[in-house]
Every structure is written in structure tokens, then in C-alpha cells.
Amino acid sequence: MIRDFHAHIYFDADEVEAAKALGTAAQDRFGLPVGHYHLRPVGPHPRGSVQMTVPPDRFGEVAQWLVLNRGGLTVFAHASTGDDRADHSEHVIWFGPSEPLDLSIFG
């Protein structure tokens, strides 16, 4: 069962402001919780990122909005089912180019 989705906006140092603008716009439009802006890789993520949590019943409309508004940023979205490895390797959607994740953190 999918509890929710996580949409991670990826960014480099020169894209921080664009990532913050996208996160703020998503929060304003959809009321999504937006997490901490990590300026370095954290967890399995290969570079700076911020997580938005999306309820399953809102994912379709949020995904459509991200397709049109990501402004060249890469967004990695995945289901949250409780199986972290599968959620980060199989239950995924990339908006923009995919990037390698460090799945070794999941054991």
C-alpha cells in the first residue's frame, strides 16, 4: 500500500534559488509539506535536494504540475510503502534525467 509519495527536487549550488522557488510554489499551490534544503548529498541522493511529501490522491495533479513547472530541475519521485530499497529503485518516476542513487544505505 502506498502511504504517500516523496518528490525530491535535486539541485546544484547554482540552482538553490530555483529549487527554493519551485518548492515554495508547490507548497503555495498544493499545501505540500516541504522539508529542509540539503546543500550536499544526503541519504541515497547524489546532490543537493529537498523533499516534498504528496498524498496519493494528489500525486496525479502534482506530477502534472511538476512536468510543466520544474524549470529544468530534476525531480525524483517515489512511492513510500515501507520498503525503502524498492521505493527508491522500483517505485520511482523521474522528471528530467535520472541520476544514480546510493542504494547501499538500505542494506
**What pTM did the predictor assign?**
0.97
Q: Using CB atoms within 10 A of its CB, is residue 78 exposed (0-12), middle (13-18) or buried (19+)?
A: buried
Alpha-carbon gap, residue 27 to 82, rounded angstroms: 24
Query: Domains (ranges, CATH) in the chain?
Result: 1-47+57-73 (3.30.70.1240)
Taking all residues of the chain, what is their mean pLDDT, rounded to a whole number? 98
Residue 107 has pLDDT above 90, yes or no: no
d(CA 81, CA 1): 6
The H or E element containing residue 77 is strand 75-80
Q: Which whole number is the average pLDDT over 40-69?
A: 98
Per-residue pLDDT tens over the stretch 64-102: 999 999 999 999 999 999 999 999 999 999 999 999 999
Which among 66, 104, 98, 100 is positioned nearest to 85, based on CA atoms?
A: 104
Model confidence pLDDT, tens digit, residues 11-27: 999 999 999 999 999 99
Span 33-58, mean pLDDT? 98
